[in-house]
A = this chain, B = another copy of it.
């Protein structure tokens, strides 16, 4: 007998949870011949240096090599240094919490910041677990759709959504699933809105900046952390995307050096990590981190896959967004019901994430982490699925015309 709280959390994530079930069944059914674009999971062998990095640190050098670790000073120093190098922002080592991936960092930030009933603004389409994470921290997600024309944040709508209970906003740039990098001007205006509202409300509204994809940039783009624009910011990062090794659970939460009261907040964050089950990354991953920090999946290859798929899918007749970052393509479903359309794709052994489970109905998401062999194999299926969808549309229209 689960708690009411757990039952509520479960209901909130039911759409994506049910899709997990369908996906697992589809995977089973299509087997090795499947073309799996559903999630940002690896379908090529890991970077060789990754395993080597782990092996190098698996030989203990001291008696306490595998003893309890919290956020180790060496890890914190290294992260702060890397962030300073990337962004020319003076992040401080003591403001870095080492976490079990970005998911751990998000859960940590929300659990520490929220009281029961506090509101967190999320932008739609969100990562499919944001609302569940907020609910699990006893908070309430307040949903603001992005602008349909530009995929940029809808600042007026965000401003209008702020209430006295607003505790935080989650911003994800580069964005999953749109691939959008929010422009500096948007972030500057967002900062002004948050600062003004925080002053009005007498307590800061925190910006939780989910930067899981910050190193996965196309066309030579640069990325500036949104936390640089607003003092009360928390930066969420994971090595799981950059290295495409999400099963090794390594990431961090870093507080903006401009944040007022960050010492007290850091203390609370550490307490939360202890009470979440000693939720610090393993000793091994913390030792390996400086070596892993220098690695990245092959971005040129990723961009090549992006360009190939965009070109081919457009040639077939799909409407596809060209992402500025992340490893996702967002495509319009040729029929309004994206669940039906992704089922149609699945009949051709092509697995894609239906937009409806990530609150962007009418679209579907294609992960570029699929192998080149999968892409090649999938193209005829993408074509056939589209023509079937088109004939369904034509048939439906024809039928409406006759019965209308």
Are A6 and B272 in contact (CB-based, < 8 A)? yes
Chain B residues with Cβ under 8 A from A108's Cβ? 277
Shortest distance from the beta carbon of A37 to any chain B beta carbon, whole Å:
14
Bound state CA distance, A136 and B63, in angstroms?
32
- List 18 additional A-B contacts (Cβ < 8 Å) besides A138-B138, A284-B284: A1-B203, A4-B115, A10-B271, A17-B271, A42-B64, A44-B63, A54-B58, A66-B247, A69-B247, A100-B278, A100-B279, A107-B275, A107-B279, A108-B277, A136-B276, A247-B282, A247-B283, A277-B279
Inter-chain contact A276/B115, CB cutoff 8 Å: no
- B271 contacts A9, C-beta separation under 8 Å: yes
Question: A247 is contacted by which of B2, B67, B99 (Cβ under 8 Å)?
Answer: B67
Asked if A114 CB lies within 8 Å of chain B CBs, one says: yes
CA–CA, A155 and B69, complex, Å: 37
| Chain B residues whose C-beta falls within 8 Å of the C-beta of A264 in the assembled complex | 1-2
Whole-angstrom distance between the Cβ of A203 and the nearest chain B Cβ = 6
Q: Can you list 14 pairs linking A and B with CB atoms under 8 Å apart?
A: A2-B264, A3-B112, A5-B138, A6-B112, A13-B271, A17-B271, A42-B63, A42-B66, A43-B64, A67-B246, A67-B247, A68-B246, A248-B284, A276-B276
**A45 CA to B64 CA in the complex, in Å?**
7
User: In this complex, what residue of B is CB-closest to A113?
Assistant: B3
Contacts of A278 in B (CB 8 A): 100-101, 103-104, 246, 249
Binary CB contact string for chain A from 282 to 325 against chain B (1 if under 8 A, 0 otherwise): 11110000000000000000000000000000000000000000
B107 touches A277 (CB 8 A): yes
Bound Cα distance A244, B116 (Å):
38
Q: Judging by beta carbons under 8 Å apart, are A103 and B277 in contact?
A: yes
The interface residues of chain B lying within 8 Å CB-to-CB of A23 are none
Does any Cβ of B come within 8 Å of A129's Cβ? yes
Report the minimum CB–CB distance from A15 to chain B (whole Å): 13
Q: Assembly of this chain: how many copies?
A: 2
In the assembled complex, A204 has its CB within 8 A of some CB on chain B: yes
Q: Is A404 an interface residue (CB 8 A)?
A: no
Q: Does A118 contact B (CB under 8 A)?
A: yes
- A188-219 CB mask vs B (1 if < 8 Å, else 0) is 00000000000000011000000000000000
Asked whether, in the complex, the Cβ of B248 is within 8 Å of the Cβ of A3, the reply is no
Known contacts A6-B271, A66-B46, A282-B285; decide if A105 and B277 are in contact (CB<8 Å). yes
Residues of B contacting A284 in the complex (Cβ-Cβ under 8 angstroms): 54, 248, 284
User: In the complex, what residues of B have CB within 8 A of residue A3's CB?
Assistant: 112-115, 118, 167
0 or 1 for each of A216-250: is its CB under 8 Å from B? (1 = yes) = 00000000000000000000000000001111110
**A96 CB, nearest partner CB in chain B, Å:** 17
Give CA–CA (A10, B269) in the complex, Å. Answer: 10
Instruction: Please name all residues of chain B whose beta carbon is closer than 8 Å to the beta carbon of A125 when the two chains form the complex.
Output: none
Is residue A340 contacting chain B, with contact meaning CB distance below 8 A? no
A186 at the interface (CB under 8 A from B): no
| A151 part of interface (Cβ distance < 8 Å) | no
A257-276 at interface with B (beta carbon < 8 Å):
261, 264-265, 267-268, 271-272, 274-276
Is B68 within 8 A of A1, CB to CB? no
A264 to chain B, nearest CB (A): 6
Taking a contact as CB atoms closer than 8 A, the residue among B10, B45, B69, B249 that contacts A282 in the complex is: B249
